[in-house]
Amino acid sequence: MPFKTDISPATRRDLSRTARDAFPPMGVYIIRDKETGQVRVASSRNVVGAMNRIQFELRLRSHTDKSLQVDWNRSGPTRFDFEVVELLEEREDSNFDYVVELRTLEQIYREQYQLEAGATR
């Protein structure tokens, strides 16, 4: 079935503008090694894009975290879970610093997963 292209130029512009101006999915995500239980915590101003990039780099065998790359090469993608643990909501305050909020949340989750790892040993 061919793709419908009977959208008016004005509607197309409006849709494009809406997509461009949409609040990106900012937040904290984890990469969990199901074999060892190790959890890597990170944050991004585009969580979905960050997780896709990491998986893409791992498939290309070019990820900068060499220990993660070695484990991926040895066992494959089924060994890992990629999870979003918290998303930021858009704030009314235009001066709100999302980067500081992301760093703070990332640190909180790092500490939480370190405590959980220590409790299971």
Domain assignment present for residue 3? The answer is no
Domain of residue 75, residue span: 24-120
pLDDT tens-digit series, residues 49-104? 999 999 999 999 999 999 999 999 999 999 999 999 999 999 999 899 999 999 99
Helices (H) and strands (E) in the chain, counts: 4, 3
Domain assignment present for residue 4? The answer is no
pLDDT tens-digit series, residues 1-28? 556 667 888 888 888 887 777 778 999 9
Q: Beta-carbon neighbour count of residue 107 at 10 Å?
A: 13
Q: How many domains does the chain have?
A: 1
Beta bridge partners of 41: 30
Domain assignment present for residue 38? The answer is yes
CB distance 45 to 102 below 8 Å: yes
Residue 18: alpha-carbon gap to chain centroid: 22
Domain assignment present for residue 36? The answer is yes
Residue 97's CATH number: 3.40.1440.10
